[in-house]
Amino acid sequence: MIFTEIPEIRYEGAKSSNPFAFKFYDADKSVLGKPMSEHLPFAMAWWHNLGAAGTDMFGKDTADKSFGAGSDPLAHAKAKADAGFEFMQKLGIKYFCFHDADLISEAPTLKEQNANLDKIADYIRSKIDKTGIKALWGTANLFSHPRFMNGAGSSNSPDVFARAAANVKKSIDLTVKFGGKGFVFWGGREGYETLWNTDMKFEQENIAALMRLAVEYARAIGFKGDFYIEPKPKEPMKHQYDFDAATAIGFLRQYGLDKDFKLNIEANHATLAGHTFRHELKVSAINGMLGSIDANTGDALLGWDTDEFPYSVYDATECMYEVLKAGGLTGGFNFDAKNRRPSNTYEDMFHAFILGMDTFALGLLKAAALIEDGRVDAFVAERYSSYCSGIGAKIREGKTTLAELAEYAESQGEPTPPSSGKQEYLESVVNQILFG
């Protein structure tokens, strides 16, 4: 046991003042005919929760994430796994997400690295067998090591491309071994700093080639899950190719990858791209590509990826509204989030997840209430209802011509002004459901 002072976290209800209890996340509570736990498949991000210890550009670690192990890489990797599984069990979390590089520190050669990964993977697999906790998705870290300074798929070096392919292959193997539902590509270094040295088309073709090779390999070994692109506009690169959902969808379609890939939408990446989280979810959903979510939040006053635990019930409600409307996720809700640097105790790790899980539970309850209330849906249906008959229906059904429309326009005179958008009314309905 690592978190000896921390009890199992249970639901105690909104009136509880126990800091180690859920106030809103009640796993078995039925919402729209399904238990909360099925609506909200939460996942722990291995890298943040078990790895990030507070180092930033200006200072070193503030937290101790050695979990009692010394400097031996395998002993530390096992201690992380012990901590992670105990943590997830105490919170009732069924999934984790990981990079290859999160599992054990990198060895000097690829061969040694893969052998080390096999050792820790066997250890993790035995914990999966004991607990039923599995991977939500895996990914390859193709951005931290200096070899990837010019990108991975987009690198100007075919040797680096080949190394990226080897890391992706191993990470797919690990994902399959851990029962993962998905495999993510986050193109941290897949972008450019200046177009004076960059062949954009060449780089994008190569990224697509790496993705295609990954799909071919994974399908050949029986992986049935989804691949995901995780869009992000910038950071670490000035401009990343998977800028936002619309850009990523265009890319996937252009290179014929859209049948195997969906999107993993991260809230903080959405706002960095100048969109709301909800916008990115909507764009993904209407294109049939809403796969999974990295649940976190940025800070409106800070222009970078702060990866904070989500606390805005308003944002979570908007998110869950889109998720419910899309019929749920094939993936889940990965807390790609880290404690603030001064929140450096084991207790803080639990507070962070209680906050995130309660925020999304509230979001789910409020989104379900909005749908059951029906006023927003009814308003939107009514707003477009003139397309149900007459010339509107002909436009929708593609049964008219430009000439017919011109004739119609001439005969009708000045169009009746469109009806009010009633934004303020709708926003007050949302507030009433949230706080009434």
Binding mask 210-239 for ligand XUL (x = CB under 6 A): --------------------x-x-------
Check residue 262 for interaction with ligand XUL (CB under 6 A).
no
- Which of 294, 305, 315, 358 touches Co ion by CB under 5 A? 294
Binding mask 164-203 for ligand XUL (x = CB under 6 A): --------------------x-x-----------------
Check residue 305 for interaction with ligand XUL (CB under 6 A).
yes
Check residue 266 for interaction with ligand XUL (CB under 6 A).
yes
99 tagged catalytic: yes
Check residue 266 for interaction with Co ion (CB under 5 A).
yes
3-state SS record for the chain: CCCCCCCCCEECCCCCCCCCEECCCCCCCEECCEEHHHHCCEEEEHHHHHHCCCCECCECCCCCCCCCCCCCHHHHHHHHHHHHHHHHHHHCCCEEEEEHHHHCCCCCCHHHHHHHHHHHHHHHHHHHHHHCCEEEEEECCCCCCHHHCCCCCCCCCHHHHHHHHHHHHHHHHHHHHCCCCEEEECCCCCEECCHHHCCHHHHHHHHHHHHHHHHHHHHHCCCCCEEEECCCCCCCCCEECCCCHHHHHHHHHHCCCCCCEEEEEEHHHHHHCCCCHHHHHHHHHHCCCEEEEECCECCCCCCCCCCECCCCHHHHHHHHHHHHHCCCCCCCEEECCCCCCCCCCHHHHHHHHHHHHHHHHHHHHHHHHHHHHCHHHHHHHHHCHHHCCHHHHHHHCCCCCHHHHHHHHHHHCCCCCCCCCCHHHHHHHHHHHHHC
39, 99, 275, 279: which one is catalytic?
99
For residue 305, the minimal CB distance to ligand XUL (Å) is: 5
- Which of 190, 226, 315, 336 touches ligand XUL by CB under 6 A? 336
Number of residues in contact with ligand XUL under rule CB under 6 A: 10
Q: Which does 52 bind (CB under 5 to 8 A by kind): ligand XUL, Co ion, none?
A: none
Binding mask 93-122 for ligand XUL (x = CB under 6 A): ------x-----------------------
82, 102, 260, 305: which one is catalytic?
102
Q: Which does 305 bind (CB under 5 to 8 A by kind): ligand XUL, Co ion, none?
A: ligand XUL
Quote the tokens at residue 266: 């991260």
For residue 5, the minimal CB distance to ligand XUL (Å) is: 29
- Which of 26, 82, 190, 336 touches Co ion by CB under 5 A? 336
76 tagged catalytic: no
Which CB, 77 or 295, lies closer to ligand XUL? 295
Number of residues in contact with Co ion under rule CB under 5 A: 3
- Which of 242, 294, 308, 322 touches ligand XUL by CB under 6 A? 294
Check residue 139 for interaction with ligand XUL (CB under 6 A).
yes
Q: Which residues bind ligand XUL (CB under 6 A)?
A: 99, 139, 184, 186, 230, 232, 266, 294, 305, 336
The residues carrying an active-site annotation are 99, 102
